[in-house]
Chains A and B, each alone.
Chain A
Amino acid sequence: MKNSLWKVFSKGIIEENPILVLALSLCPALAVTSGVDTGLTMGLTVMFVITANNVVVSLIRHLVNPKVRVAVYVTSIATIVTLAELTLEAFAPMLYKALGIYLALVVVFAIILARAEVFASKNKLFPSFLDGLGMGVGFTLAMVAISVIREILGNGTILGFQIFGEGYNAPLIMILPAGAFVLIGYMVGAVNLHLQRKERKMKERDA
């Protein structure tokens, strides 16, 4: 039992990583990963929203009329995000300003709705919580990985600290969406390669 609960949590980290395997929510992966600070903040925000939403959806899953379930889930997501916005605006205005319009856009991130529909609406509370958390962790890890590469190569800094010194003539393509797209493409390829090799090894072992 414990083993399968762990699986529910951990699959979101690599095997079903939202950005690198499921290819969901690529928008934030392109738009806010030019610096590690924004990438990390967005990752944590999304983690909070997915987990909270999964919990809510799991709690109300028997009360929701299946004909309008998507609309209800979206309402739930929008409510959670709005609450996050209001709270940040009141208690952490600098963070709120830094996130800008991207905070409101969290509502439409595909991964949140996908987890609600695919998992939370059909599972109990604790597993749904773990699924959301796992997906959130996977998302954040991917966001941070992308941001680190983009910030180091495209700006010569990490979290604002100069790494390469003044003479570094950074290729600006890395802090622009075009470079992010190419980078994410190769990262998806690398993860796919790794998963394929793992599968092949398991098949050889079973044979």
Chain B
Amino acid sequence: MSSQTSVQENIYSVSTSPHIKADDTVQKIMWRVIMALIPAAAFGVFYFGLSAFINIAVSIAAAVVSEYLVQKVRKVKVTITDGSAVITGLLLAMCLPPDLPYYMTALGSAFAIVVAKHSMGGLGFNIFNPAHIGRAALMVSWPVAMTTWRTTEISVDAVSTATPLSVLKLEGYDSLVELFGGKTELYKAMLLGTRSGSIGETCTVLLVLGGVYLMYKHIISWHIPVCMIGTVAIVTWIFGPEGLFTGDPIFHMMAGGLIIGAFFMATDMVTAPITKKGQIIFAVGAGLLVSLIRLKGGYPEGVCYSILLMNCVTPLIDRYVKPRIYGTGGGK
């Protein structure tokens, strides 16, 4: 509102970095992120089949179409080619169960774009990560469908319709290990993605690869992923099921939406703090919340809500952790 008009009147220009912007730079970043996500998404399609592919397609299509419609109605420039709607659609689909009815996916995607992105002011002005808002809205609207997972063959004689985290929440750690037939089998399944879960969350190896690629291209920095995942590992190790220091940090680091959330959603430059110190605070806060929800909360998984809650706090963090004014301060 007033900051927008001030920018127009050239009185005082406020924006997040990078400060030198050109349309194609935003586009380049977006498409690189999409490339980083494709391996894990492809694995999801390979492992879960046609419905996973259709869900991804529907989600992306719904996101792009709703963005087009909203921008037409608002009589502003149509920016569907900048890739941001595609990313939101793709990320949302990767957090959904593979067999979710397609109309739900479409509605969730539209909600993410229309409500979380454009009603909040459009790209660069949104407070919350749109994909996660879409997922939260779907979770609240159709809780049964959103927790109906694909039945997967865990081992030769065990079949499960629940994700590892929900087994952990409802039946305990020992049942979880028993289900997979031992700790090594559990870790292997978590690493490679041969287990039940959302379309794009399961293959740890490919997600981490994508994240490392983004770090290599300087699109994200290591601070948020490392601090968030690290915090979860430490806290879940300390507050283990059988007393202090009996937790399984390796399992928790790979479980649920933590990897995809930490690398691709918590790092979203619009909704995360500007400074490195702020980002660390953000990541640790998110990690603490994830651990709290996983260990004590009613839901088996809490990455989506943790990141959204920290998104609320980002403006506050930015206020107190001021960026160093260019030209002042210690040398490097």
Contacts and interface: CB of A to CB of B under 8 A. Distances in A.
A172 B115 contact: no
Contacts of B140: 172-173, 176, 178-179
Interface string B65-99: 00000000000000000000000000000000000
A173 B141 contact: yes
Interface residues on A, range: 10 to 19
B115 A171 contact: no
A31 B79 CA distance: 38
Contacts of B101: 169
A182 interface: yes
Interface string A169-190: 1011110101100100110000
- Residue with the highest number of chain A CB atoms closer than 10 Å, among B115, B140, B145: B140
A36 B104 CA distance: 26
Contacts of B145: 169
Nearest to B137: A173
A171 B143 contact: no
A122 to B, nearest CB: 33
Contact of B142 (A169, A178, A182, A185): A169
A179 B133 CA distance: 12
Contacts of B143: 172
- Residue with the highest number of chain B CB atoms closer than 10 Å, among A173, A178, A179, A185: A173
Contacts of B35: none
Contacts of A172: 140-143
Interface of B, helix, strand, loop or mixed by DSSP = helix
A169 B143 CA distance: 11
Interface residues on B, range: 10 to 19
B212 interface: no
A178 B143 CA distance: 15
Interface string B135-150: 0010011110100000
Contacts, number: 22
Interface string B165-200: 000000000000000000000000000000000000
B293 interface: no
Interface string B114-143: 010001000000000000000001001111
A182 B140 CA distance: 14
A178 to B, nearest CB: 6
Contacts of A186: 119
- Residue with the highest number of chain A CB atoms closer than 10 Å, among B137, B141, B142, B143: B141
Nearest to A186: B119
Interface in B256-291: none
B6 to A, nearest CB: 21
B38 to A, nearest CB: 30
B107 interface: yes
B198 to A, nearest CB: 20
A129 B64 CA distance: 52
Interface in A152-207: 169, 171-174, 176, 178-179, 182, 185-186
Contacts of B115: 182
A89 to B, nearest CB: 35
A173 B134 CA distance: 12
Nearest to B101: A169
A182 B115 CA distance: 8
Contacts of B107: 171
Contacts of B142: 169, 171-172
A169 B142 CA distance: 8
B67 to A, nearest CB: 17
A75 to B, nearest CB: 39
A173 B142 CA distance: 8
Contacts of A179: 140-141
A36 to B, nearest CB: 20
Contacts of B141: 171-174, 179
A100 B153 CA distance: 50
A25 to B, nearest CB: 23
A140 to B, nearest CB: 27
Nearest to A189: B119
A174 B142 CA distance: 11
A176 B140 CA distance: 8
Nearest to A174: B141
14 contacts: A169-B101, A169-B145, A171-B141, A171-B142, A172-B140, A172-B141, A172-B142, A173-B137, A173-B140, A178-B137, A179-B140, A179-B141, A185-B119, A186-B119
Q: Top 7 A-B pairs ranked by shortest CB distance?
A: A171-B141, A173-B141, A173-B140, A172-B141, A173-B137, A182-B115, A176-B140
Given A178-B137, A179-B141, 20 more contacts: A169-B101, A169-B142, A169-B145, A171-B107, A171-B141, A171-B142, A172-B140, A172-B141, A172-B142, A172-B143, A173-B137, A173-B140, A173-B141, A174-B141, A176-B140, A178-B140, A179-B140, A182-B115, A185-B119, A186-B119
